[in-house]
Amino acid sequence: MSPETQQTDQTNRPREEKTPRKAGRFAPSPSGDMHIGNLRTATLAWIWAKQSNRDFVVRVEDIDRVKKGAAQRQLEDLTTLGLTWDGDALYQSSRRDAHLQAIETLKEKGLLFECYCSRKEIAEASSAPHARPGFYPRTCAELTESQRETKRAELAATNRAPALRLRPRVTEWTIQDELFGTVTERIDQVVLQRGDGILAYNLAVVVDDAWQNVDQIVRADDLLSSAPAQAYIAHELGYSPFTYAHVPLVLSTTGARLAKRDGAVTLRELLSHGWSVTRVIEEIAASLGFTAHTLEELCEVFDATQMNRESWTFIPPEA
């Protein structure tokens, strides 16, 4: 167990184990310091949970992109802003056995197949006539067992293993979103375990949300299109349905999604430029269409039906 995993923020109260409540969550990837867009989404997830009398939990999604020290800095930034959570932060990497068990469950139900394609092969097949842009071209979906054995041998010769993809029983799935209403998307044959053994986001996020009693998912609206596939996977694993609220993104002055390369956009950078925590909260509140100086005030006045639904273009302070 890593030192980061062992650390517990003493400002966060433990959850009641005897009567676990449903929860909302924030689940950052520790690829670097969080910018104000991440913190805005975290704030909204916290408010949604508080207003609906849910617990609020934090999960560090550290099974793929990890920058040393980033997870602890992210937790510190949440605390600095005033966002507290119930129980300890969960490190997703500690949940590999549960993820693999979910893979076995889906495999036993006939919902997985091996994929032997390289990224280049998928890109070439996806550009062929009649292929649906952005979707897996079903290259390995209907191979015979003899063809699979040949493909396995070819991969083994190069010390590679096949990925595992979802074989859905449906063509589409529908969710209800508090901001977007009814959302129906076609279900792709997404990767659930990569050839290098890494469990994919679309699987791990579902398994861990269910384990943490999360039934309310508040996150940025660029993830809206992936929600039906995740809801379908949850259904096949026997989990209760999730509720969703996909909130507006924060953009840079170029119109692209805000990133750490866009100037002084992280909490630490803003504080170093003379901003106070109060000002950060005021800016977040104003971007949503409300006036508040503390998180508690924002939680009191926030109304999802009245919030600003437009993306927020953040202008960082000049150096």
> Tens digits of per-residue pLDDT, 228-260?
999 999 999 999 999 999 999 999 999 999 998
Domain boundary among 193, 221, 243: 193
The set of long-range contacts for 148-155, using a CB threshold of 8 Å and a minimum separation of 24, is 148/114, 148/116, 151/114, 151/116, 152/114, 152/116, 154/116, 155/116, 155/195
Q: How far apart are CA 261 and CA 270, in angstroms?
A: 14
pLDDT for residue 10: 37
pLDDT above 60 for 84: yes
Q: How far apart are CA 317 and CA 156, in angstroms?
A: 53
Q: Is residue 7 part of a domain?
A: no
Task: Tell me the mean pLDDT in the region 165-183.
Answer: 97
Q: Is residue 68 part of a domain?
A: yes
Is there a single domain that holds both residue 108 and residue 228? Answer: no
Residue 184, strand partner residues? 174
Is there a single domain that holds both residue 184 and residue 233? Answer: no
Q: Which residues constitute the domain of residue 286?
A: 21-97+201-313
Domain boundary among 130, 160, 193: 193
Q: Is residue 11 part of a domain?
A: no
Domain boundary among 162, 193, 224: 193
pLDDT for residue 20: 75
Is there a single domain that holds both residue 70 and residue 148? Answer: no
Number of domains in the chain: 2
Would you state the structure tokens that stand for residue 262, as one six-digit string? Answer: 């866009």
pLDDT for residue 130: 53
pLDDT for residue 64: 86
Q: Is residue 1 part of a domain?
A: no
What is the CATH number for 122? 3.90.800.10
Is there a single domain that holds both residue 107 and residue 151? Answer: yes
Is there a single domain that holds both residue 205 and residue 309? Answer: yes
